[in-house]
Structure 1
Amino acid sequence: MPPRKSRRTLWIVLGTIAAVLVIVGGALGYFIWDTTSNAGTQKIVFPATFKDLKANDDPAVTGKIQDELTSKIGQGDGNWKPTGVAGVYQDSDSNPQLIAVGVYGKVLLPKQELDQMFSGFTGAGAKVTDRHSVDPGPKGGQMDCATSEDGESKLALCAWADNSSVVMVLKGSDDGSQPDVDKLAADTRDLRAVAEVAK
């Protein structure tokens, strides 16, 4: 039986996300106001399973991130009251394969929120490279993907933003290889298709 992989990548990614939260803080909220009728019509509900992966339902893994996102994003702007969401999808050996984090609410300027999210990674000390726009799929908005390095671990990251949500999806590796960004983009579109639903 092959040795079970460590969860090192999971904790590295979650640690990076925590650092991003500290840096981004309430910055997203400065650009968002409740002034458009089409804003905030959707919400994010991550499914219990996605393709051949199962969501980790341990609140110690996802609950804290959701609470931090809900409480910190939009501080200082009473019109921006986002709801934080987080999902960790694992294979049959409980190895994390996809991690999704973000918020939903009323988003007036999606592109600026997307820029702020990527800037948070850079500000947290991670090196973000090759950021580029990709097809966001039928739900529209904007979606960008990039690669990132944190020590020996390499990450692929894709994020979408529209008038209802700002969500980033990440995939990492422990063996030094670079995750396939194009595949992550496809997985991100597929996850969004089932997770972003009408309120």
Structure 2
Amino acid sequence: MPENDHPQPEDVLVDVTPAAPCPRPRRRLWPALGAVALLGAGTFGVVFADNFANLGAYRYSPPKSFTGLAYAPEASRAKQPGTLGSESGVSATAYLGDGDRSTVFVTVEERHIFTPSSELDDLLARQRADGIRLDGFRDVDPGERGGAMKCGTTVFQGQHLAVCDWADGSMWGTYTEAESGAVPDLGAAVDHARDFRRQAEVPS
């Protein structure tokens, strides 16, 4: 058979047609996801509206006396640089009375706190890491300044102490009170801590 009579292989066809556009349902996916994201952001804003509103709402300005106790400058410390730099600061305020038998000592760090309950948990963890044992520590009504507050008792160098820790959108603080030779009334200490916050946290 002549060479030209051999059957020739068929040409291989390659489909170079451009890919078809995404089906309409998929094209609608991204706007839908965007709408869900916006809805989620809106819901987040509504749920945490108070958190945003309370950021920096107050500043720390302790009273010159408290529950009949006088401010003790020798045992106090003015604001020092805090963990967030110049926008925050740590203060220590002491009050003494009855021949130094009664004592109130408050430590505060001013800074914006978005989730006070989480900040309070972190504060308690730091205190425990420092070897402070807090007995019967429990959630209490934080009072009109809001945020979160927990109170309990401890013994330090043989002295019984009542302790209240709190955190809000403007600061965290530790309120401690003691009376020499006596076990403090925790219920009274909780009331005092709320009252101290009401006096010391003034609108920014």
TM-score using structure 2 length: 0.68
Question: RMSD of the alignment, in Å?
Answer: 2.2
In the alignment, the residues of structure 1 paired with residue 69 and residue 157 of structure 2 have an alpha-carbon distance, to the nearest angstrom, of 26
Corresponding residue of 2:16 = none
Give, as a single letter, the amino acid of the residue that structure 2 aligns with 1:179.
P
> How many residues are paired up?
154
Identity of aligned residues (%): 24
Corresponding residue of 2:48 = none
In the alignment, the residues of structure 2 paired with residue 129 and residue 141 of structure 1 have an alpha-carbon distance, to the nearest angstrom, of 22
Corresponding residue of 1:62 = 76
Corresponding residue of 1:193 = 198
1:153 aligned onto 2:169: no
Aligned ranges 1:37-186 → 2 under 5 Å: 38-58=54-74, 61-63=75-77, 66-67=79-80, 70-71=81-82, 73-74=83-84, 81-175=87-181, 177-186=182-191
Deviates more, 1:111-120 or 1:91-100: 91-100
Task: Provide closer, same or farther for how the CA distance between residues 135 and 37 of structure 1 changes in structure 2, counting only shifts above 3 A.
Answer: closer
Corresponding residue of 1:9 = none
Structure 1 residue ranges (4+ consecutive) displaced by more than 3 angstroms after TM superposition: 35-38
Give, as a single letter, the amino acid of the residue that structure 1 aligns with 2:106.
A
* Greater radius of gyration (CA): 2
Gaps of 5+ in 2: 1-50
In the alignment, the residues of structure 2 paired with residue 51 and residue 174 of structure 1 have an alpha-carbon distance, to the nearest angstrom, of 16
Larger RCO, structures 1/2 (Cα 8 Å, 6+ apart): 1
In the alignment, the residues of structure 2 paired with residue 134 and residue 151 of structure 1 have an alpha-carbon distance, to the nearest angstrom, of 26
